[in-house]
Amino acid sequence: MRSAYRPLTRRGLLTGTLGSAALLAAGGTLAGCGTPAAQQTEEGCVSEDLSGTEKTLAFSNWPQYMDVDEDDESKRPSLDGFVSRTGIQVTYTEDVNDNNEFFGKVQNQLAACQSTGRDIMVLTDWMAARMIRLGWIQKLDKAKLPNVEANLLPSLRSRPFDAENQLAVPWQSGLAGLAYNGRVTGEIRTVDELLTRPDLKGKVTALSEMRDTMGLLLMSNGHNPADFTAAQFDDALAKLKRAVDSGQIRRFTGNDYAPDLAKGDIAACVGWSGDIIQLGFEDERIRFVVPDSGVMLWSDNMLVPNQASHKANAEELINYYYDPAVAAQLAAYVNYICPVQGAQAEMEKIDPELAANPLIFPDEAMLARSRVFMALDEQQEREYETKFQQVIGA
Amino acid sequence: MSALAHVPIGSGQSASPPPAARSGRYRLLPYLLLLPGAAWLVLFFAVPLVQLAAASLYDPTGSISTGYVLTWAFDNYPTALRAYWPQFARSFLYAGIALVLALLMGYPLAYAIAQKAGRWKNLLLVCVIAPMFTSFLVRTLAWKTILSDNGWLVGLLRDVHLLGPDGRLLATPIAVVLGLTYNFLPFLVLPLYASLERLDYRLLEASSDLYASPLKTFRRVTLPLSMPGLIAGTLLFFIPATGDYINAELLGTPNEYMIGNVIDSAFLVRLDYPQGAALSFLLMSTILAVVFVYLRRAGTEEVL
């Protein structure tokens, strides 16, 4: 036994606690030597489907991406229709706010082949491509998706990351193009005008979404965003850098460009069609422009992750939303491009004006000018993203 | 803490040889009381910290799909610093300027509330704290409206020719520094207020009785007595302001991005975990170094 008692001091406690924690954690980390590979295979991560006994479905989606009742915001007519038609209870959660953030939220479970508690999640093309590449997404049974087979827009079939059309089904699509506020500036028609016209200096924003901004720039150089080389990418990036360095581009944004464009703080921007339609309802001088060189077509896709235990229920829901009448009901509310053929005819009955809107139901000419960004492998993704982030400042 | 620590001494030595079991229990008591807090600290602070340190030494060629291997890649640090030293320096510069501005505003404010406000004291304190009840993001977005190109403030500054006809505040370093100043001001004012509130007015009277000028009274009496609050306040202001990325993102442009924006993009967008971890550690250790030097020079060991 010690003869003298040593009083407990703050410093002693801190040193002791931190020291033991360091040992504990260091031991743990070193024993594991880093982090394990997140790659999964179909054989290695098998999911069980409990749809036969459990009539439930957990659906994660973006905010304001589902029709709501005009009188009661808590009612979702198209989803309620699904519940009463099939008896499958849907837990609908609006917890996707950002692809990267959502990836952070589910990556640990999916990397370890554990359940995320979600049966359907809606993610943008490139994030869908990444998850497919990592082997985190279950294959769908095409026999259970006759409506998708029949009604999916041709330009959204056999996309680079899902050549067989069995992993990702578009929920809504949209265009990334140019937009301007007619109260502040005259019409713009090309990407080059946006990047060089002197009267726009410091009043231009572009999207921090690499595929949208760089896709438009690649096309303005006459290259194809669905199939380009590293040198072509560098060319386009140099063009963007000139516009950043000259102060032409004010900032790079997510959705937050919309209020700035409405206020006139920015005169023109690279933006998304759905946002601009919304702004256009309030101020008709805010316009979306499809540049002559071409426009980017993106989709948010329904995906069934590994270990989702209600795949058959999920397939039923996907199939339901490809019924043209249901798709029109949804499109009347969300104003993005409806990926379902035949919905335009149904929309005539709901709202003829929306049915005639080429940003919701694009015509052949517009679709012919639209491109989907190339599927990147992990190495390319990091290389391009790093270069792009350096130009946009982070 | 010292009271706790002395209990066993008293009880252990007064009775000649105490029963072993009893003294052992008393000896353990402070540790038992500290157990929940210490466990919390270990689990949610120390362990992640060590993991972050390990991540900063991962092989930079690893990736999510192949996993990361710990190769003691100390090269990650110079590489990260070479690539992002401007953002790093900018963080300290902006936070420093914002701190000076906040001191110029916050000290008189805290002094007025503590010494001169009388029965308005509580109301004024609520006014300082009230904005904190809304989210940080909402407050920053409100600044976007205030500083808007077509807002009244920019209009006014253009009219008095402080800004050119095409001048703007949004998307400039000024907006970022103003945002930082505003968002962290209460963290500076509250500790200062706590110090100044206890200031004995009679000491100031004594000082002026001894023919000290008001300026000298401030320098020799008020300022030294408010030192603990001043130090705590500057630290509470400077540390989060340096690591902030919301203000630069919402009020600035890529040219104003701070190190927080880079770390955010390394972890969430570029998925370069070793670099993100290395930058986080660099930021943490630089701030710690600055704080230590500051505390040494300010000469208050007690704060530590």
B76-303, what's its fold?
MetI-like fold (1.10.3720)
- Is residue A195 exposed (0-12), middle (13-18) or buried (19+ Cβ within 10 Å)? buried
pLDDT of residue A121: 96
**Can you read off the two tokens belonging to residue B161?**
């020719």
The answer, yes or no, to whether residue A30 has pLDDT greater than 60, is no
pLDDT of residue B5: 42
**B230 vs B187: CA distance, rounded Å:** 11
pLDDT tens readout for residues A174-224: 999 999 999 999 999 999 999 999 999 989 999 988 999 999 999 999 999
pLDDT of residue A253: 86
Q: What value does the mean pLDDT of chain A take?
A: 89
**B242 vs B93: CA distance, rounded Å:** 9
**A124 vs A133: CA distance, rounded Å:** 14
Share of chain A above pLDDT 70, in %: 92
Reduced to 3 states, what is the DSSP secondary structure of residue A97? coil
Select from A9, A7, A13, A10 the least CA-distant residue to B12: A7
Select from B190, B178, B195, B192 the least CA-distant residue to B129: B190
Helical segments of B42-133, H only: 47-55, 76-111, 121-129
How much is the ipTM here? 0.78
pLDDT of residue A236: 96
∠ at Cα B112 (B110, B118), nearest 5°? 120
pLDDT tens readout for residues A361-379: 988 888 888 998 988 888 8
**Can you read off the two tokens belonging to residue A102?**
């959502």
DSSP A200: G
**A72 vs A125: CA distance, rounded Å:** 32
Reduced to 3 states, what is the DSSP secondary structure of residue B24? helix
**B136 vs A240: CA distance, rounded Å:** 32
The verdict on A246 touching B (C-beta cutoff 8 Å) is no
Select from B141, B258, B171 the least CA-distant residue to A269: B171
Q: Please tell me the CATH code under which domain A174-297+378-392 is placed.
A: 3.40.190.10
Mean pLDDT calculated for residue range A154-179: 92
Q: What is the CA radius of gyration of chain B?
A: 25
pLDDT tens readout for residues A290-337: 999 999 999 999 999 999 999 999 999 999 999 999 999 999 888 889
The verdict on B138 touching A (C-beta cutoff 8 Å) is no
Contact assignment for A134 to B66 by CB distance below 8 Å? no
pLDDT of residue A18: 65
pTM, rounded to two decimals: 0.81
Contacts of B170 in chain A (CB under 8 A): 265
Select from B208, B256, B300 the least CA-distant residue to B89: B256
Please indicate whether residue A127 or residue A22 has the higher confidence score (pLDDT): A127
Contact assignment for B46 to A256 by CB distance below 8 Å? no
Q: What is the CA radius of gyration of chain A?
A: 24
The verdict on A105 touching B (C-beta cutoff 8 Å) is no
The answer, yes or no, to whether residue A35 has pLDDT greater than 70, is yes
pLDDT tens digits for chain B (304 residues)?
344 444 444 444 444 554 555 566 678 888 889 899 999 988 999 888 988 999 999 988 888 888 888 888 999 999 999 999 999 999 999 999 999 999 999 999 999 999 888 899 999 999 999 888 889 999 999 998 899 888 889 888 988 888 877 778 888 899 999 999 999 999 999 999 999 998 888 999 999 999 999 999 999 999 989 999 999 999 999 999 999 999 998 898 878 899 999 999 899 888 889 999 999 999 999 999 998 898 888 765 555 4
Residue with tokens 């807002």: B151
Select from A90, A165, A124, A172 the least CA-distant residue to A343: A172
- To 10 degrees, what angle do helices B273-298 and B227-243 make? 160
Backbone angles phi, psi at B31, to 5 degrees: -65, -40
Select from B294, B264, B288 the least CA-distant residue to B87: B264
pLDDT tens readout for residues A255-264: 789 888 998 8
- Is residue B293 exposed (0-12), middle (13-18) or buried (19+ Cβ within 10 Å)? exposed
Q: What burial letters (b/e) apply to B215-241, b meaning 16+ CB within 10 Å? A: eebbeebbeebbebbbbbbbbbbbbbb
pLDDT of residue B3: 41
38-67 of A, contacting B, C-beta below 8 A:
38-39
Domain extents in chain B: 2-55, 76-303
Mutation pick from B51, B61, B65 vs chain A, by most beta carbons of A within 10 Å, is B65
Please indicate whether residue B20 or residue A273 has the higher confidence score (pLDDT): A273
Reduced to 3 states, what is the DSSP secondary structure of residue A206? strand
Domain extents in chain A: 56-171+300-338, 174-297+378-392
pLDDT tens readout for residues A232-270: 999 999 999 999 988 899 888 887 898 889 988 899 999
Report the residue of chain A nearest B30, measured CA to CA: A8
pLDDT of residue B4: 42
Contacts of B4 in chain A (CB under 8 A): 8
The verdict on A83 touching B (C-beta cutoff 8 Å) is no
pLDDT of residue B166: 75
The answer, yes or no, to whether residue A2 has pLDDT greater than 60, is no
80-99 of B, contacting A, C-beta below 8 A:
83, 87
CA dihedral A337, A340, A345, A347 (to 10 degrees): -50
Contacts of B166 in chain A (CB under 8 A): 202
Contacts of B5 in chain A (CB under 8 A): 7-9
The verdict on A111 touching B (C-beta cutoff 8 Å) is yes
- Do the two domains A56-171+300-338 and A174-297+378-392 of this chain adopt the same fold? yes
Reduced to 3 states, what is the DSSP secondary structure of residue B102? helix
Q: What burial letters (b/e) apply to A294-333, b meaning 16+ CB within 10 Å? A: bbbbbbbbbbbbbbbbbbbbbbbbbbbbbbbbbbbbbbbb
Is A56-171+300-338 a domain of CATH 3.40.190.10?
yes
Nearest to A8 among B30, B41, B62 (CB): B30
Q: How far off is chain B from A70, nearest CA to CA, in Å?
A: 27
Q: Give CA separation, B148 vs B167, B170, B193, B251, in Å.
A: 11, 6, 33, 10
Q: Do A201 and A322 contact (CB within 8 A), yes or no?
A: no
